[in-house]
A and B are shown apart, each in its own frame.
Chain A
Amino acid sequence: MIDFTFTDEQELFRKAAREFAETQIAPLVPKMEETGRDWDPAIKALCDAEMMAITIPEEYGGLGLGYVERLIALEEIARVSVATAMMMQVGALGTAPIIVFGSEEQKKKYLPGLASGKHFATVAVTEPSGGSDPKGCTTTYKKQGDSYFLNGRKCFITNSHIADVQVVMAVDEENPDSFSTFIVESGMKGFKPTHEEHKVGMRGCNTGEIELKDCEVPAENLLGGEGKGMRVAMTAIGDVGRGGMVGCSLGLQQACLEASIKFANERILYGKPINRLQAIQFKLAEIKIDLDAGRLLGYRAASIQDAGGRSSNEFAVAKYYTAEAAQRAAKMAADIHGGYGCMEEFVVTRYLRDSFVLGPSAGTSDIMKVIISRWVLS
């Protein structure tokens, strides 16, 4: 038999995450929306609430929890602010390669600070030429003495201007088939965050470019061995990045459902609440069906991961389904609101904009289909 229930402790984690999101994050959202920046208070709140420590092992100062608990936390935070959940999920995406592939010295050096919030992380793989074709990477590395020198540009990097620990993938200047990843600190010579993006949604989530100009990285910051970079980056993105996007999408779906129910209960049309209209009821039902199906897919993948298995394919299925479902949910939520769904004072307009950004993050739906089709054909 399969038990589909969360443990009492996991329910308590959900309650803790919801309380945190509603009391600490929700008040920050209006300013983040208004400026598209002002992410510092959200980052501080995430760190103070130990949200960045969830999957870091206890021996390195983390909480030693699993990916089910991470998904619970992300879902609850995204329910209030997808932008904040996105920065949190990518922070963990930058941390995971150090947990999985880091040397003992690297773990001791970086993980306690990443768990406590002294440091914040990201992964820098995507380049102007695209993110779905990592082998098209043009950022190069060259070893000279005890250092590697990196040159290139990364774009669409979440936490680009926040993260002081960035896992960067580059290609050997002399061997186009050899990719490696490096732990780059923001203070290292030649590292520079440059352009900040202004996205249509997830406003207040830092996204931007970084420039690496003869960036000198000590040899001991090579992560996972020379030539192993593709495995490091793809494992992180497949298992952690896609899983994180599932959390963001599920949280947004839940928010859409709640906003839609509230509006449908209160909006009077033809002398009665519009929740009595079948056209509205069916939309609510469709959002709920998608949400439940997405949760089953997402938590299945997270459970596989917690059991020690690879879950990147299962997360590809869940990422595809939940991102698409979140976009459907946001559209239906706006539709249920009628004309109010076009007015910015109604939160569903934010949901609609946020849902748009869920699509390409950690791989578009078409790329997910490519991955899933490879899986079924293999």
Chain B
Amino acid sequence: MLSIVVCVKAVPDLDEADKIRIDPDTKALTRHDIPLVINPLDRNALEAALQIKEKGEAHITIISMGPPSAGNVVKECLALGVDQGILLSDPAFAGADAFATAYTLYKAIDKLDSVDCVFCGRASSDGATEWVGPELATFLRMPVVTMVREFVEAGGNSWKVKADIEDGYRLVQVEMPAVFTVTHTANTPRTLSFSGIIKARKKEITTWILDDLGVAEESVGLKGSPTIVSDLTVVESKRTCQIIEGTLEEKADILINKLISSGVLL
């Protein structure tokens, strides 16, 4: 049976984005009281895995690294049809950059019996580095295809996928096992169902802490992160209003020139 691992990040709900603040000392986002949701692009990755499962036999494991409250996100994945949920939660994991996150995920995946492929969302809605998938593939010594929009042939020793590029797509054949980062054009993620939630009652969430992964504290979290956020600023938007006079054509010309001079139009 095909064994698929999907890496899922619990991110602050963008509907509550106005409540997110930047800690002036640590430059970290303060997310207290903001509900955590499945990272939107990870839902595309999860949906891709679920669609492959529906076409043939597959076992889907999701792995999420986050605080204990991320358990709700894992539970939601189970309700969406995932077979097994693993939460990596330990104070030592906090503050991880993409590298430390990828390393921690790698150590968790390495504990699993056999893995045929790993799916990640293309990027997270908070960090948005797009590095975790490729870095994870490096740790796992697997090939990686990023920006996957379609799984053309999934199954067997090599898969064919279409991956987005700027003006089109690449058709890529990749030897398995492999890592794929999935983009938003791949599918429309399914919504939760009441019966899915009921079925999830019987599915357990496994929590792994630092000791379970057998890694040094210096290798994970903030201590294991080679990159640091040196500064973060909030973009302030100010409204201004100008009345443009003239004929319709004159007004259009003035408007276009103003948009060009202000850098809105190139």
Q: A8-B72, A12-B75 are in contact. Are A63 and B195 (CB under 8 A)?
A: yes
- Rounded to whole angstroms, the CA-CA distance of A11 and B69 in the bound complex is 14
Q: CB distance A16 to B194 under 8 Å? A: yes
Q: CB distance B191 to A23 under 8 Å? A: yes
Write the B62-80 contact mask toward A (1 if CB under 8 angstroms, else 0): 0000000000100110010
Q: CB distance A16 to B192 under 8 Å? A: yes
Residues on A with C-beta less than 8 A from B72 are 8, 11-12
Number of A-B residue pairs with CB-CB distance less than 8 Å in the complex they form: 44
Q: How far is the CB of B195 from chain A (nearest CB, A)?
A: 6
Q: CB distance A16 to B75 under 8 Å? A: no
Q: Is A19 interfacial (CB-CB < 8 Å)?
A: yes
Q: Which of B72, B76, B192 has the most CB of A within 10 A?
A: B192
- Rounded to whole angstroms, the CA-CA distance of A162 and B117 in the bound complex is 48
Specify the main secondary structure of chain B where it touches its partner: helix
Q: CB distance B192 to A50 under 8 Å? A: no
Q: Identify A9's interface contact among B191, B193, B201, CB under 8 A.
A: B201
- Rounded to whole angstroms, the CA-CA distance of A64 and B194 in the bound complex is 11
| Chain A, range 33-75, C-beta contacts under 8 Å to B | 49-51, 53-54, 63-65, 69, 73
- Rounded to whole angstroms, the CA-CA distance of A20 and B196 in the bound complex is 13
By beta carbon, the residue of chain B nearest A22 is B191
Q: CB distance B192 to A12 under 8 Å? A: yes
- Rounded to whole angstroms, the CA-CA distance of A16 and B197 in the bound complex is 9
- Rounded to whole angstroms, the CA-CA distance of A12 and B75 in the bound complex is 9
By beta carbon, the residue of chain A nearest B79 is A12
Residues on B with C-beta less than 8 A from A24 are 191
- Rounded to whole angstroms, the CA-CA distance of A19 and B193 in the bound complex is 9
- Rounded to whole angstroms, the CA-CA distance of A140 and B22 in the bound complex is 71
Q: A8-B72, A9-B201 are in contact. Are A50 and B193 (CB under 8 A)?
A: yes
By beta carbon, the residue of chain A nearest B201 is A9
Q: CB distance A20 to B197 under 8 Å? A: no
Q: CB distance A16 to B193 under 8 Å? A: yes
Q: Is A340 interfacial (CB-CB < 8 Å)?
A: no
- Rounded to whole angstroms, the CA-CA distance of A54 and B201 in the bound complex is 16
Q: CB distance B191 to A13 under 8 Å? A: no
Q: Which of B76, B194, B197 has the most CB of A within 10 A?
A: B194
Q: Is A15 interfacial (CB-CB < 8 Å)?
A: yes
Residues on A with C-beta less than 8 A from B201 are 9
Q: How far is the CB of B241 from chain A (nearest CB, A)?
A: 10
- Rounded to whole angstroms, the CA-CA distance of A190 and B198 in the bound complex is 42
Residues on B with C-beta less than 8 A from A11 are 72
Residues on B with C-beta less than 8 A from A63 are 194-195, 198
Residues on A with C-beta less than 8 A from B75 are 8, 12
Residues on B with C-beta less than 8 A from A19 are 191-192
- Rounded to whole angstroms, the CA-CA distance of A63 and B193 in the bound complex is 11
- Rounded to whole angstroms, the CA-CA distance of A347 and B197 in the bound complex is 32
Q: A9-B201, A12-B79 are in contact. Are A50 and B191 (CB under 8 A)?
A: no
Q: A12-B197, A63-B198, A64-B198 are in contact. List 19 more A-B contacts (CB 8 A).
A: A8-B72, A8-B75, A9-B197, A9-B201, A12-B76, A12-B79, A13-B197, A15-B76, A16-B193, A16-B197, A19-B192, A49-B194, A50-B193, A50-B194, A53-B194, A63-B194, A65-B194, A69-B194, A73-B194
Q: Which residues of B contact A (CB under 8 A)?
A: 72, 75-76, 79, 191-198, 201
11 intermolecular pairs with C-beta atoms under 8 Å apart = A8-B75, A9-B197, A11-B72, A12-B197, A19-B192, A20-B191, A20-B192, A23-B191, A24-B191, A63-B194, A69-B194
